[in-house]
Amino acid sequence: MATGLAPRTLLLAHHGTAGAEQAAALALSLAVPGQTRIVHLYVVPDFWNGMQGDDWLNNAWTRDAFGRHVEGQLQSEAQEQMKAVAERCAAQGIECAPRLAYGKPAECLLAAARECDADLVVIGPPRPKGTPGLRSRMDLDQLARGLGVPFMVATAR
């Protein structure tokens, strides 16, 4: 930690959901301009690996076109979110470092926390059951056991 309770490197997991917005608000409330650097982790979940499913009728050209399309979509969504968080940080004078990862959310978060030497991790609350959205939840148990630094879960409103 830097002075007082202000974190030096705060790792924020954010991918544009309502819960992630809570996490961003919490992170920004904890960050201190000039002292805290927010590392924004955006995870593209690895279930996309299986998203061509058992397609067998298409030729390679069509599958490649689909792959490029999905990659393009995921990339533009990620860039949009990273830009939005960076702008909010900049508005408060907080340094922001976006980081894109592909894999299981908890594994990516653990790796990012290690690599960026985070001293606080902030994530959003689990999505309430029945809320529409992609099924790629953060494994809180894995996170609690694997993280060597404090982590905060933003409360659901």
Partner 1 sequence: MVYTHRSPALLIIGIVILAWGWLNQSGTADGLQAWLHPGAYKEQKQDADKHQAAEKAAADKAAAEGKPAPEAKAMKPGKFDGVKQGQANFAYIFGGIFSVIGLLILAVRPKEGHLDYYISIFPGMAFILSIAFVVRWGLDPMFANWGKAAQPTLGWNFATILNLNYVVLGIVIGMIVVNVLRIPAWAGNGVRTARFFLKTGVVLLGTLYSAAELAQLGALSVVMIGVFVLGSVWLVLLAGPRINATNSMTGVLSAGVGVCGVSAAVAASPVVNAKAVDIAFTLGTILLWGVLCMFIFPTVGHLLDMGPVQFGAWAGTGILNSAQVAGAALAFDPNGIQTLKVAEIFNITRVLFLPLIVVWLAAWYVKREAGAQKVDLGKVLVAKFPVFVLGFIGLFILSSMGMFAPAGHYQGKYFSSTEIKEDKLLKEKDLAALQAALPKVAKPEDNKALQDLIANKKLDTRDQDNLLRGVAKMEGLDKGAKDALGNAHKAAWHDSKIIRAYRDWIAWLFAFGLTGLGMQITVASIKQAGGKPLIIGSIVGLIKALGSLVVVLLFVREFV
Q: How far apart are CA 99 and CA 91, in angstroms?
A: 19
Minimal distance, residue 76 CB to partner 1, in Å? 9
Please answer whether residues 12 and 25 qualify as being in contact, where contact means their C-beta atoms are separated by less than 8 angstroms: no
C-beta of 134 vs 140, nearer to partner 1? 134
C-beta of 69 vs 145, nearer to partner 1? 69
Q: How far apart are CA 38 and CA 70, in angstroms?
A: 28
Minimal distance, residue 151 CB to partner 1, in Å? 24
Instruction: Annotate 36-68 with b (16+ C-beta within 10 A) or e (fewer).
Output: bbbbbbbbbbeeeeeeeeeeeeeeeeeeeeeee
CA dihedral sign of residues 26, 88, 92, 5: positive
Q: How far apart are CA 57 and CA 22, in angstroms?
A: 43
* Interacting residues toward partner 1 by CB under 8 A: 45-59, 61-63, 65-66, 68-70, 73-74, 77, 132-136
Phi then psi for 40, rounded to 5 degrees? -90, 110
Minimal distance, residue 72 CB to partner 1, in Å? 9
C-beta of 21 vs 46, nearer to partner 1? 46
C-beta of 55 vs 87, nearer to partner 1? 55
Minimal distance, residue 46 CB to partner 1, in Å? 8
Minimal distance, residue 100 CB to partner 1, in Å? 14
C-beta of 54 vs 141, nearer to partner 1? 54
